[in-house]
Structure 1
Amino acid sequence: MIKFFRQIRQRLITDNRFSKYLLYAVGEIFLVVIGILIALQINNWNEHKKERKLERKVLTELLTSLKQNYNRMISDSIKRSNWNRSSDIVITILERGMAYSDTMNKHFQDARKPGTNLSLSFAGYEGLKNVGYNIISSDTLRKNIVELFELTHKTLLEEMEYFESFQPDRQFYIDKLFSYEIDKYNPNDPFNVPIYPNNYPALLQDSIYLPMIKSVTVQRNIIAELQYENIKETQRLISLIENELYELKK
């Protein structure tokens, strides 16, 4: 092909047809430019295709983390609600000075739990950070992802960590007042062994235990509000990502 164009150009020069040669030269340059532009366009298209494929991969990994977090927070919320119910029962019994019953032992166990051991997955988000935030083509989606992981999730976990350290002697004090029902120990559920008071009349008069249980209940309620916001925002972001993945498949 190159040889063919050279022959035409040489014939025009030999025949002294300069105007036609000039026109031909301009046309040849135009074809070269068009070829370069087409090549660039194809290259840009291929790069865009690679980036969108990577974006789908990153969003899919994020979606996995978000669904794990959503399920963990729902499960934690249910446990937190049960523990609060036990706290309410214990508080009512002690404030009214009611007689002891061994049916209270499970509630004594659950009432002491602060509920601050929630673990959230940041794997998908770390993957996004490694690739680069700009791989997310939607500005709105990118902003929502960063806000959830950097602000909403971290605020919840930081508050949990704070409350965990709020009463460092809580377990020590519980161990002084209560003993475990060893015969009800279950290796598959080791943290739910019922506890019974060593001296129930003394427990009724104890000036520390009841305020401590009330404080733990307040802490759980504060965490519950933060967790509700996290659940709501996580659910919203899951929907946004699922919609974006659907659009990227088109």
Structure 2
Amino acid sequence: MIKFFRKIRQKLLSENNFSKYLIYAIGEIILVVIGILIALQINNWNEELKLEQKEIDIATEIYFELNENLAYVKKQKINWEKRANTAQTLSKIIISKSESLTQKQFDSTMLYILGYYKLNLIKNKFDNIVSSETFEFKKSTSLKREMLALKSLYETLESYYQSNVEVNRNTLRPYLFENYSFRNFNNIISKESKGFAVNHQNLLNDLKFDNAIQNVIGSSMPFVNYFNTTIKKMELLKVALEETYPSIKE
């Protein structure tokens, strides 16, 4: 192609036809400029495709991590809901004159209430994107806002979890340490019957024990409710990601 243009230039110069040569030179410059512009446009398209693919990859990572975290949070919600319901059942027995618990039932109930579940949310990729000041979802400007709102729910959920841990450590366990035998809990696990003779009915009639159980309920019920709020927000974000990036479901 270069040789072809060179021959044309040489022919025009040999003919001493300056006007035609000038027109040709201008045309060649225009062609070069057009070529450069086309090359730049192709390069821009390639860069845009790369950025778009990167955005899809990030959305896919967030989507799969969100799914994993959603399953985990739902499971934890069930566990903590059972614990809260167990504490509420015990509270009703405390004030009831007709219901009672055997020693084994009481020990099993207290073991279940004491054995709270740890909360370790799965959100490393989620946190990285939320904290990024440079990355944005170009296909949906609302996704980042939705993620920020969910981040706030995660933080509140973790705060409620810590509150439950503190109630157990600072209120319920110290009371049982002074007023009950932890050997009884070992008996439930090992299925033996070796322990101190501590009448659990005394605990059921003790105002301090009732207050400790009320603290457990007071910290666990809002925690369970916030699980529900968080799960709904996670499901909404999941749907938003699917609608914005349909390919991620594949």
What is the match of residue 160 of structure 1? 161
In structure 2, C-alpha distance between the alignment counterparts of 1:60 and 1:66, rounded to whole Å: 10
In structure 2, C-alpha distance between the alignment counterparts of 1:159 and 1:56, rounded to whole Å: 34
Secondary structure class of the residue paired with 2:80: helix
In structure 2, C-alpha distance between the alignment counterparts of 1:133 and 1:69, rounded to whole Å: 22
1:32: Cα distance to partner?
A: 0.8
In structure 2, C-alpha distance between the alignment counterparts of 1:165 and 1:83, rounded to whole Å: 16
In structure 2, C-alpha distance between the alignment counterparts of 1:21 and 1:248, rounded to whole Å: 58
Relative to structure 2, which stretch is displaced further, 10-19 or 66-75?
10-19
77 and 175 in structure 1: CA distance in 2 versus 1, 3 angstrom threshold = same
Choose from 167, 184, 189 the match for 1:185.
Answer: 189
What is the match of residue 190 of structure 1? none
What is the match of residue 133 of structure 1? 135
TM-score by length of 2: 0.82
TM-score by length of 1: 0.82
Contact 1:152 1:230 in 2 (8 A): yes
1:161: Cα distance to partner?
A: 2.0
| Pairwise CA RMSD | 2.8
44 and 152 in structure 1: CA distance in 2 versus 1, 3 angstrom threshold = same
What is the match of residue 40 of structure 2? 40
What is the match of residue 107 of structure 2? 105
What is the match of residue 191 of structure 1? none
Contact 1:90 1:111 in 2 (8 A): no
Secondary structure class of the residue paired with 1:234: helix
The size of the alignment, in residue pairs, is: 239
99 and 110 in structure 1: CA distance in 2 versus 1, 3 angstrom threshold = same
What is the match of residue 84 of structure 1? 84
144 and 105 in structure 1: CA distance in 2 versus 1, 3 angstrom threshold = same
In structure 1, C-alpha distance between the alignment counterparts of 2:38 and 2:217, rounded to whole Å: 68
In structure 1, C-alpha distance between the alignment counterparts of 2:115 and 2:231, rounded to whole Å: 21
Contact 1:94 1:210 in 2 (8 A): yes
Percent identity over the alignment is 27
In structure 2, C-alpha distance between the alignment counterparts of 1:238 and 1:108, rounded to whole Å: 38
In structure 2, C-alpha distance between the alignment counterparts of 1:88 and 1:142, rounded to whole Å: 39
Q: Which amino acid aligns with 2:189?
A: Y
Which runs of 5 or more structure 2 residues have no equivalent in the other structure?
none
1:236: Cα distance to partner?
A: 0.9
Which runs of 5 or more structure 1 residues have no equivalent in the other structure?
187-194
